[in-house]
Chain A
Amino acid sequence: MSDTSEISWVRRLLTRPLYSGRIRYTPMRDLLRGRIGERLNWRARLDRAALSAPIADAIRRIVRRTRLWRIEKAEVADELIAHFSDGLTTGASVDDLLRDFGDERAAAKLIRRAKRRGRPLTWHAMKWTGRAFILLVILYAITFVRFLLSRPTVSVDYVAKLNAPILSTPVQDRAWPLYRQAMIAMELDGRYTRVGIKSETDARAGHPLDRFLDPDADHNTVGARQLIDATPSDAAWPQLEGWLTKHAEGIALLRAAADKPAMGFVVGKGGSQHDPELGWTSGGSDEYRGLASQTLLGVLLPHLNHMRAMAMILAADVRYARHHRDGARVVADLRAMIAMGRHNDLPLVVTRLVGIGIYRAAFDSLEETLANDPDLLSDRQLIEVAHDLSTIGGDTASSLIDLTAERMMFHDVVQRAYTDDGNGDGILTPEGARLLADVTAMTTLRGSAPPPSSETMLMAIGSAASLVSSRRDALAELDGALDLQERHYARPLREAGDNDDVDRLLDLRMREIRGNPVLLARHYLFSMMFPALTRAAWTAGTALGQREGLLVGIALELHRRRHGEYPATLEVLTPTLLPRVPADRITGAPVRYALTKGRPVIYSLGVDRDDDGGRAVVHPRDKRPSASFAAEWGKPDDSPRYDGDWILYDGRSQKVGH
């Protein structure tokens, strides 16, 4: 038989009315076994039962109302057919049978309930799973709608709060106006700012000190940084001298600014960050930062790099003054640098770190002066500088590092992202999701995967609204982490243990969050906003150590002048020239003192706790002596790379880089 004739035979067979009807009334399990019957055709059996019309109709109604599966209906119908047939056989009347049977609707309902109970376990499991799914969908829909309808309540103006002490300073006492005049007078490039560089054009704006380059030269062979660091023995020294001479007025303005009691840099839009004359316009940044520009997080501090650059200019001027034997100018510059460091007093980590950097520049300049020109400064001048030094910080890192503005930033973002239920709690809002997207864009490194758009973030947050931390939990997490840092800063580092412990804990926590999508959804705000505070305590601790070393160095110099030689021990200096011998910040014992080739060195034993007689560690990277490489807290480490001491003051003429 050919293929076409086989197909037509099968087609004829399947389309035969009787055959197609029987298949229709055969349960699937029977069909799969090849058993074709009419088990499901209970209507035909009802017809064949020849029951009276009222009974047959009642059976049809009851079976239909059960709304059961076809096979269950067939079973129920068969049972009812048998029941009424048996009843009629016993001689009962149709009316009696129907009356005794009871209410049809109730019967159908009870039969349906009972039959469904008897269904397979898998059916019940699927039923409950389906209900659970529907419940989840409803809960999700409610959560999502609640999320979409929520709005934040901004109750605190944190920018105003941060500006309050600044604005309370009389205008004539504010240093910033003079600093900006100094920048203009010295022709510093105001366009340079680390924050907000998004294009090569911005990057080409260059370093604030690019103006050092002589535009008239045939070619510039000396970079700005080399120029500013030039010493009298360098080839670039005459060029530096020329620049400093040309901009003496600007440098004088710088000293005048440093003499003011307060910085007076007004933060926020409309404040000092908007300065078209310096090339600081916030429009582009606002677009870049989106909603974040409305928060404290969006505050720009474009002056910080310039403060650092101006401190470098003063350091160069110290070398110039020293070269020309002008002690008064040296002291004026040193005191101005110390004041500049103090002017970076906004309670924000980045500002304080810039301030510490400026202090370190002053410390290095002073140390060079004492080492290379010990007789240049008079006793009175040394005492003036010592007095300024002693006002810098205190015993712990908390005297230099302040996290108040960081905390205010968090609270500001939270109040703009979350609702407020009046009890300190609330949920994330759509505006909050957009704000998080903008914060993400701000904190994402260039070259990394592009940050999610606001719409993507909105949908992601909305779909996981129940996963995201509540307002209370978000604040508790952020505040808790900051509290941990502040407690760490408030203790002497040798008591706090390994000064990386807190940093490491927080770093581990960040990795844990970022490595888990559920945790990331929940702790997104924390993961995006918590600042990188790694080594902030170390930076403060080493600066304070160097300051203490310098105070001892000054005392030693004064003693040498009075007695013709350096003392045998540091205790001799107390209490006249030194209130007390400072403690080694790593061991807690008094700092060490040694005379090398007749010149003093003050040092800490360093992390190896081994007295190397004031020998600095050779830095593993640049192979040069490093004064502070051995400054590590925690367990002693006598590995070769830490073989040496932490130099706090080096009175020897050879300069050691800090």
Chain B
Amino acid sequence: MKIERELMRGAGPTAVLRLLEGGERYGYELVTLLEQRTKGVLAMGQSTLYPLLYNLEAKGMILARLDITADNGRPRKYYRLTDKGKRQLAADREQWEALTTAMTSLGIVGG
């Protein structure tokens, strides 16, 4: 199912921060995990992921590290969550929980 762009705009960054909560990851890895764990719902175009990562980096929520000893022999950029990113993730989580509860009470979500 393709999520509308406006919804994706709010969900995408949160999803990426959540994936980075478990540890540092590289770009393609994030693409794959988003596809797999959300069953394609939050599969954003790969051309969108990197700008999203750069935006999060500009806001100080994630930090990049260049690893020149990647297993394929090529340098690879890894991203990890910063303290600010963790706080943002916590805040986003709270908002999504509140939103889900509200939608549930309206009968839009859940049974």
Contacts of B69 in A (CB 8 A): none
Cβ distance A504 to chain B, nearest Cβ, rounded Å: 61
- Any A CB within 8 A of the CB of B18: no
Can you name the residue of chain B whose Cβ is closest to the Cβ of A111? B51
A107 pairs with B72, CB closer than 8 A: no
**Binary contact readout A101-126 vs B (1 if CB under 8 angstroms, 0 otherwise):** 11110110011011101100000000
B72 pairs with A104, CB closer than 8 A: no
Chain B binder among A82-90, A213-221, A270-278: A82-90
- Any B CB within 8 A of the CB of A78: yes
A49 pairs with B74, CB closer than 8 A: yes
- Any B CB within 8 A of the CB of A81: yes
Chain A binding site: helix, strand, loop or mixed by DSSP? helix
B57 pairs with A107, CB closer than 8 A: no
Contacts of B28 in A (CB 8 A): 82-83, 86-87, 90
- Any A CB within 8 A of the CB of B91: no
Q: Which of A353-408 contact B (CB under 8 A)?
A: none
- Any A CB within 8 A of the CB of B33: no
Cβ distance A314 to chain B, nearest Cβ, rounded Å: 93
The answer for the CA separation of A108 and B47 in the assembled complex, in Å, is 8
Can you name the residue of chain B whose Cβ is closest to the Cβ of A62? B47
Report which residue of A81, A82, A85 has the largest number of chain B beta carbons within 10 angstroms of its beta carbon: A82
A-B contact count (CB 8 A): 77
- Any A CB within 8 A of the CB of B45: yes
The answer for the CA separation of A83 and B30 in the assembled complex, in Å, is 10
Cβ distance A241 to chain B, nearest Cβ, rounded Å: 103
Cβ distance A463 to chain B, nearest Cβ, rounded Å: 40
Cβ distance B8 to chain A, nearest Cβ, rounded Å: 13
B76 pairs with A111, CB closer than 8 A: no
- Any A CB within 8 A of the CB of B97: no
The answer for the CA separation of A495 and B66 in the assembled complex, in Å, is 87
A114 pairs with B29, CB closer than 8 A: no
B47 pairs with A110, CB closer than 8 A: yes
Can you name the residue of chain A whose Cβ is closest to the Cβ of B71? A89
B47 pairs with A85, CB closer than 8 A: no
Contacts of B57 in A (CB 8 A): 118
Contacts of A101 in B (CB 8 A): 45-47
Q: Which of B4-22 contact A (CB under 8 A)?
A: none
| A100 and B77 contact, Cβ closer than 8 Å, known pairs A79-B27, A86-B26 | no
B29 pairs with A86, CB closer than 8 A: yes
| A107 and B54 contact, Cβ closer than 8 Å, known pairs A79-B77, A82-B77, A83-B28 | no
Give the contact-size bracket for chain B.
20 to 34
| A83 and B27 contact, Cβ closer than 8 Å, known pairs A115-B54, A117-B58, A118-B58 | yes
**A76, A79, A110: the one within 8 Å of B48 (CB):** A110
B46 pairs with A118, CB closer than 8 A: no
The answer for the CA separation of A102 and B72 in the assembled complex, in Å, is 24
Can you name the residue of chain A whose Cβ is closest to the Cβ of B29? A86
- Any A CB within 8 A of the CB of B100: no
B51 pairs with A110, CB closer than 8 A: yes
| A111 and B72 contact, Cβ closer than 8 Å, known pairs A90-B32, A101-B47, A102-B45 | no
Contacts of A87 in B (CB 8 A): 28
The answer for the CA separation of A100 and B27 in the assembled complex, in Å, is 14
A102 pairs with B46, CB closer than 8 A: yes
- Any A CB within 8 A of the CB of B41: no
| A114 and B58 contact, Cβ closer than 8 Å, known pairs A82-B27, A101-B46, A107-B51 | yes
B47 pairs with A103, CB closer than 8 A: yes
**Binary contact readout B69-86 vs A (1 if CB under 8 angstroms, 0 otherwise):** 010101111000000000
Contacts of B58 in A (CB 8 A): 114, 117-118
Cβ distance A62 to chain B, nearest Cβ, rounded Å: 8
Cβ distance A89 to chain B, nearest Cβ, rounded Å: 6
Can you name the residue of chain A whose Cβ is closest to the Cβ of B70? A82
B48 pairs with A85, CB closer than 8 A: no
The answer for the CA separation of A81 and B73 in the assembled complex, in Å, is 12
- Any A CB within 8 A of the CB of B105: no
Cβ distance B30 to chain A, nearest Cβ, rounded Å: 10
Cβ distance A285 to chain B, nearest Cβ, rounded Å: 71
| A82 and B48 contact, Cβ closer than 8 Å, known pairs A115-B54, A117-B55, A118-B54 | no
The answer for the CA separation of A111 and B46 in the assembled complex, in Å, is 11
**Binary contact readout A447-480 vs B (1 if CB under 8 angstroms, 0 otherwise):** 0000000000000000000000000000000000
B50 pairs with A107, CB closer than 8 A: yes
Can you name the residue of chain A whose Cβ is closest to the Cβ of B57? A118
Contacts of A102 in B (CB 8 A): 45-48
Contacts of A90 in B (CB 8 A): 28, 32
**A78, A83, A89, A114: the one within 8 Å of B55 (CB):** A114
The answer for the CA separation of A502 and B57 in the assembled complex, in Å, is 66
Contacts of B27 in A (CB 8 A): 79, 82-83, 86
**Binary contact readout B52-64 vs A (1 if CB under 8 angstroms, 0 otherwise):** 1111011100000
A82 pairs with B74, CB closer than 8 A: yes
| A79 and B45 contact, Cβ closer than 8 Å, known pairs A85-B72, A89-B72, A114-B58 | no
Report which residue of A85, A114, A115 has the largest number of chain B beta carbons within 10 angstroms of its beta carbon: A114
Cβ distance B26 to chain A, nearest Cβ, rounded Å: 7
Given pairs A107-B45, A117-B59, 8 additional interface contacts (CB within 8 A) = A76-B50, A80-B50, A82-B77, A83-B28, A85-B72, A85-B74, A110-B51, A114-B58
Closest 9 CB pairs of A and B: A107-B47, A102-B45, A114-B54, A102-B47, A110-B51, A118-B58, A86-B28, A117-B58, A114-B51
A-B contact pairs, 24 of them (CB 8 A): A78-B77, A79-B27, A82-B26, A82-B28, A82-B70, A82-B75, A85-B74, A86-B28, A86-B29, A86-B76, A87-B28, A90-B32, A100-B31, A100-B45, A100-B46, A102-B46, A103-B45, A107-B45, A107-B47, A111-B50, A113-B51, A117-B54, A117-B58, A118-B57
